[in-house]
Amino acid sequence: MSAAAGHAAPSGRWRGIVPALGWLRSYEPGWFRADLAAGVTLAAYLLPAARSRRSRAS
C-alpha cells in the first residue's frame, strides 16, 4: 500500500455517516484552544438548562 493511499479522502458513504470526516483533514491544531473554550461554555449553559427542563417535566 502506498503512503498516499493511507491518506485518501473519505468515501462518500463515510462522509454521509460521519460528516466531520470531510472537514477534519483541514482542521488546524491552532483552533483547538478556542474550540475547547466554546465547547465548555456551551456545556456550562446547556447542561443546567436541560436538567431544569427535565425536573419541570416530571
| The predicted structure's pLDDT at residue 40 | 97
**According to DSSP H, which parts of 1-58 are helical?**
3-6, 12-17, 20-24, 32-57
| The predicted structure's pLDDT at residue 3 | 46
| The predicted structure's pLDDT at residue 9 | 60
| The predicted structure's pLDDT at residue 6 | 53
Neighbour-count burial for 20-58, b at 16+ CB within 10 Å, e otherwise: eeeeeeeeeeeeeeeeeeeeeeeeeeeeeeeeeeeeeee
Task: Give the model confidence (pLDDT) of 19-55 as tens digits.
Answer: 888 888 889 999 999 999 999 999 999 998 888 776 7
Q: Is the pLDDT of residue 13 over 50?
A: yes
